[in-house]
Amino acid sequence: MKIVSVVGARPEFIQVAPVSRALRETHQEILVHTGQHYDYRMSQAFFDDLGIPAPDYNLEVGSGSHGRQTAEIMVRLEEVLLKERPDLVIVRGDTNSTLGGALAASKLHIPVAHIEAGERSFNRRMPEEINRLVADRVADLHFCASRMAVENLAAEGITGSVYWVGDVMLDAMLQNRPIAQRKSNVLQCLNLKPRGYSLVTIHRAGNTDDPARLRQIVIALNRVPEIVVFPVHPRTRKALSQLDVQFARHVRLIEPVGYLDMIVLEENARLIATDSGGVQREAYFLGIPCLTLRDETEWVETVKVGWNKLVGTEPERIVEAWTHFAPSGERPPIFGNGTAARRIAQILNGNPGGDVQ
Ligand code: UD1
Ligand code: UDP
């Protein structure tokens, strides 16, 4: 099969790495980078760290409003799709690149596969929720990271084309953790000791674009009693610069880090606090307690089994959980067993097999 894979934002580069490797054993893959993320640390660093093949096309859409960015992706991707005439377009996750890719392909009657299908926050004010709902509605194949996602799709009447393959982020973690442990010297560079710090990431529009919520998060971080390492997403850096706040000395703001450094920072953290979907799951894979700085999450299973706690942005609640949250129970294989990419390739080869167990 000739397959066009669409990527554009940081988590999509991580997800495409194991899938590309598996697909290219039997299929021709054309990699299209929409250009949604473009800073070296948000894009090329992941191609370098993960050995992802160079994109065949970069649409260079850059940043913009939702309408403009999605429309530019559609206009520029349509040209590529008309030229390449693929048998399948694969999109992943819930970004504007996912939405633009799914719409451009489905309007040309090209079958669409959606990886990480069926995740729902049930909050339609999140741009990602709209992107997921539309991508799942037009997709012909749905590859789910968790059983909950399969149930969410069933509740929307989407069945038959749905496969629980597990989370490709887990594949990426298992493949890259030993490499990260060998290559990364991030702890030495930042003078950190294992379990001697917490790790924070924030980038959700719901937190960054709401000055009151962002201010509350800063107040909470300033109050916690340990070193906080905070790789700052460019969107958050911009929002913080418009907010008149000071960070306490124990909060160390750094540039976004590459994937290998991130794995080492995550696995050695005492605690992770985040609003990222990928980082919540990685905390679970690694058995690091996670506080989610949101009011709801798509990854409800991690909350149900006790390894993730929804704390919102209220400082007292965050600081209380920071000191007292100490999960220790089992971590059942909610996200499969790290063979999601291989299962996706098998399904595309016509061998569906059973759900991942
Ligand atoms: C996007 C996704 C979000 C995902 C996140 C992963 C959408 C709607 N949102 O959010 O679901 O979790 O990526 O990180 O698709 N910027 C730079 N350099 C870059 C990229 C962005 O400076 O390389 C700045 C620009 O000011 C831009 C802002 O960050 O306007 C937001 O970027 P954008 O891609 O629109 O959304 P993210 O917040 O990154
Ligand atoms: N990540 C990274 N460096 C950073 C922050 C995050 O490599 O400085 C990785 C993280 O480990 C995860 C992915 O980026 O694999 C998550 O992306 P992000 O939080 O931007 O988006 P989301 O998952 O929320 O869509």
d(CA 92, CA 90): 7
Place of tokens 């709801």: 296
pLDDT in tens, 6-60: 999 999 999 999 999 999 999 999 999 999 999 999 999 999 999 999 999 999 9
Least Cα distance to 282 among 304, 258, 259 occurs for 259
Q: Which atom of ligand 1 is nearest to the CA of 204?
A: 38
Residue to substitute in 36, 134, 276 for testing ligand 1 pocket (most ligand atoms within 8 angstroms of CB): 36
Q: What is the DSSP letter of 247?
A: -
Closest CA relative to residue 66, chosen from 126, 113, 3: 126
- Do 87 and 203 lie in one domain? The reply is no
Output the pTM of the full model.
0.98
- What is the per-residue pLDDT across 339-352, written as a single tens digit (0 to 9) for each? 999 999 999 998 87
Looking up residue 344, the CATH number of its domain turns out to be 3.40.50.2000
Instruction: Look at residue 39 and tell me if it is in a domain.
Output: yes
HSE (CB half, 13 Å, CA atoms) of 76? Answer: 19
Contacts of 209 (CB under 8 A, 6+ apart): 239
Residue 95 is assigned to a structural domain of this protein: yes
Count of structural domains within the chain: 2
Question: Does residue 243 contact residue 211 with C-beta atoms inside 8 Å?
Answer: yes
Asked whether residue 341 falls in the same domain as residue 319, the answer is no
Residue 355 lies in a domain: no
262 lines ligand 2 (CB under 6 A): yes
- Residues 139 and 225 both lie in one domain: no
Q: Is 187 helix (H, G, I), strand (E, B) or coil?
A: helix
Q: Is the CB of 30 under 6 A from ligand 1?
A: no
Instruction: Write out the residue range of the structural domain in which residue 145 sits.
Output: 2-167+336-348
Whether 356 maps to a domain, the answer reads: no
Structural domain includes residue 342? yes
Same domain, 189 and 108: no
Same domain, 154 and 195: no
Contact 239, 209 (CB under 8 A): yes
pLDDT, tens digit, 9 for 90 and up, residues 167-186:
999 999 999 999 999 999 99
188 within some domain: yes
| pLDDT tens-place string over residues 288-339 | 999 999 999 999 999 999 999 999 999 999 999 999 999 999 999 999 999 9
